Amino acid sequence: MVDTVTLALVAMAAIVATIFGIKKDAKKGTKSKPPPNKAAEVAREVAQKEFDDNIKALKKAVQGDSAADDLARLGNERKR
C-alpha cells in the first residue's frame, strides 16, 4: 500500500514539474528583434561602392586600345 501511494505521489510531482517547466520555457521564447547594426550597414555600402568602382575600371580597361596594358596596370595597382 505504501509503495503504491509513494509511486502515485512521485508521478504527480513529475507531472506538475513538467507543466511548470513547459510554462517557464514558453515565456523565454518571446524575444524582440535586435537593433540594426549601423556599422555593418556602412561597411556593406563601402564594399559595394568599391566593387562597383572596380567593375567600372575593368570594363573601361577592356574596352580601351591596349586592354592588356590597362589590365596589367590595374593588377599592379591592386598588389600595392
Model pTM score:
0.50
Return the domain boundaries, the chain.
Answer: 1-31, 33-80
What pLDDT sits at residue 79?
Answer: 67
The whole-number pLDDT of residue 24 equals 67
State the pLDDT at residue 7: 83
pLDDT at site 53? 93
What's the confidence (pLDDT) of residue 29? 56
Task: Return the pLDDT at 8.
Answer: 86
Q: What is the mean pLDDT of each run of 10 residues along the chain (80 residues)?
A: 80 86 66 85 95 92 88 81
The SS3 assignment for 64 reads coil
